[in-house]
Amino acid sequence: MKVLLAVESSDLRLALDLFLREQPGALVVGTACTAEGAMALLRTVQVDLVVLQWSLPGLPVTELLAEGHTLCQRPHFLILGTRAADERPAIVAGADTFALLGDSPQKLLNAIESLMPPAEIPLG
């Protein structure tokens, strides 16, 4: 599974990158710290999953989700929010699943695995 990390904090991006690189079947192919950077990568790099911070700076994340839904090979979107109240607006905007930034690594893996086709090897 090719993953794009779009998270503002460099520390969190690095932690997620390292965490995902340890999971069999996951390959981080790009990182971005703004919505514009994520949009540029989405247009040039084919990915299966975008881990996207709901409060990512730049253009509205809803525009990034809309753009992602127009791609020939549409990626899945896992939104990372800072509060539970972010979940409903994220799903309505087109996210496939949602996790809180403070969730355990296992919850994050469960959210990612829920998006994988049955034929793919589970992470973890």
The structural domains of the chain, with segments of one domain joined by +, span 2-113
pLDDT of 122 reads: 53
Q: Residues 54-65: what's their mean pLDDT?
A: 94
Distance CA 103, CA 118 (A): 24
Q: Residues 14-33: what's their mean pLDDT?
A: 91
**112 pLDDT band (50/70/90 cuts)?**
confident
- In the CATH hierarchy, which fold is given to the domain comprising 2-113? Rossmann fold (3.40.50)
Which one is predicted more confidently, 51 or 121?
A: 51
SS (H, E, C) 55-111: CCCCCCHHHHHHHHCCCCCCCEEEEEECCHHHHHHHHHCCCCEEEECCCCHHHHHHH
Q: Residues 67-71: what's their mean pLDDT?
A: 90
Residue 57 structure tokens:
């700076």
